[in-house]
Structure 1
Amino acid sequence: PTEPGPEQRERPRRRYRDGRWRTGPLRPRRRAVPAPLTVVFCHGYCLTQDSWHFQRAALRGRVRAVYWDQRSHGRSGLGRAGAAGEPVGIDRLGRDLKAVLDALVPEGPVVLAGHSMGGMTVMAFADQYPQYVRERVAGVMLVGTSAGRLGTVTLGLPAVGARALHRVVPGLLRALSTQVDLVERGRRATADLFATVVKRYAFGSYVDPVVARFAERMLESTPIDVVAEFFPAFTQHEKAEALAALEGVPTLVLAGDGDLLTPADHSAAIAEALPDAVLVVVEDAGHLVMMEHPGTVNREMAALLVRAAERAGAPLPDAVRESARGPEDGPARRPKGGPPPGAA
Structure 2
Amino acid sequence: MCRVSTDPPTPPPVPVLPPLTGPPPPGSRTVRTDDGVDLHVEVDGADGAPLTVVLSHGFTARLAEWELQRAALRPRVRLVLWDQRGHGRSASTPLPDATIDRTGRDLGQVLDAVVPTGPVVLAGHSMGGMSIMALARQRPELFGDRVVGVFLLATSAGGLVETGVLGRLVELIRWLRLLPLYLRGLQLVAPLLEHFRRRDSRFGRWFTRRLLFGNRADADPVAVRVVQGLLEETPFPVSAAFYATFLDHDESASLPVLGRVPVTVVAATHDRLTPVEHGRRLAADIGRSAELVVVPGAGHSVNLTRTEIVDRALLDLLDRVDAARRRAG
Shorter chain as denominator, the TM-score bin is 0.7 to 0.9
Number of equivalences: 277
In structure 2, do the counterparts of structure 1 residues 212 and 162 end up closer, same or farther at CA, with 3 Å as the change threshold? farther
Q: 2:290 aligns with which of 262, 272, 277?
A: 277
Q: Which residue of 2 aligns with 1:295?
A: 308
Change (3 A) 1:75 1:313: farther
The residue type equivalent to 2:292 in the other structure is L
Whether 1:93 aligns to 2:103 is yes
SS at 1:152's partner residue? coil
Determine helix, strand or coil for the equivalent of 1:312.
helix
Which residue of the other structure, out of 250, 264, 271, is the alignment partner of 1:259?
271
Runs (4 or more) in structure 1 with deviation over 4 Å come to: 159-168, 170-182
Partner of 1:145: 155
Instruction: State the Cα distance separating 1:190 from its structure 2 match.
Output: 7.4
1:286 equivalenced with 2:299 (yes/no)? yes
Counterpart amino acid of residue 41 in structure 1: L
Matches within 5 A, 1:236-247: 236-247=248-259
Report if the CA contact (8 A) 2:200-2:228 is conserved. Answer: no
What do the CA deviations read for 1:240-286 (whole angstroms, capped 9, x no partner)? 12111111310000111001111111111111112221011100111
Q: Does the 8 Å CA contact 1:174/1:228 hold for their aligned counterparts?
A: no
AA at the equivalent of 2:89: R
**CA offset at residue 4 of structure 1?**
2.8
Q: Which residue of 2 aligns with 1:2?
A: 43
Offset of 1:134 from its aligned partner?
A: 2.2
Residue correspondence of structure 1 range 10-49 to structure 2 within 5 A: 36-49=50-63
Q: Secondary structure at the match of 1:135?
A: coil
- Residue type of the partner of 2:306? H
Q: In structure 1, how many angstroms separate the alpha carbons of the residues matched to 2:267 and 2:187?
A: 31
Does the 8 Å contact 1:176/1:183 carry over to 2? no
Whether contact under 8 Å (1:119, 1:142) holds in the other structure is: yes
Cα distance change of structure 1 residues 165 and 239 upon mapping to structure 2, 3 Å threshold: closer
In the alignment, structure 2 segments of 5+ residues that lack a partner are 1-41, 174-178
- Distance in 2 between residues matched to 1:261 and 1:163, nearest whole Å: 18
Distance in structure 1 (CA, Å) of the matches to 2:121 and 2:224: 28
Distance 2:200 2:319 in 1: 45
**CA RMSD for the aligned pairs?**
2.6
Does 300-309 or 188-197 show the bigger shift?
188-197
Question: Percent of pairs identical after alignment?
Answer: 43
Which aligned pairs between 1:123-272 and structure 2 lie closer than 5 A? 123-152=133-162, 159-160=164-165, 178-180=188-190, 182-184=192-194, 186-188=196-198, 191-205=201-215, 206-272=218-284
Please tell me the residue identity of whatever aligns with 2:320.
R
Inter-partner Cα distance in structure 2 for 1:162 and 1:202: 21
Residue 332 (structure 1) aligns with: none
Distance in 1 (alpha carbons) for counterparts of 2:143 and 2:83: 22
User: Are the counterparts in 2 of residues 138 and 309 from structure 1 also a CA contact under 8 Å?
Assistant: no
| Superposition deviation, residue 136 in structure 1 | 1.0
Q: 1:96 to 1:189 in 2, by over 3 A?
A: closer
Greater radius of gyration (CA): 1
**TM-score scaled by structure 1?**
0.74
Alignment partners' CA distance in 1, 2:184 and 2:307 = 35
- Distance in 1 separating the partners of 2:166 and 2:131: 29
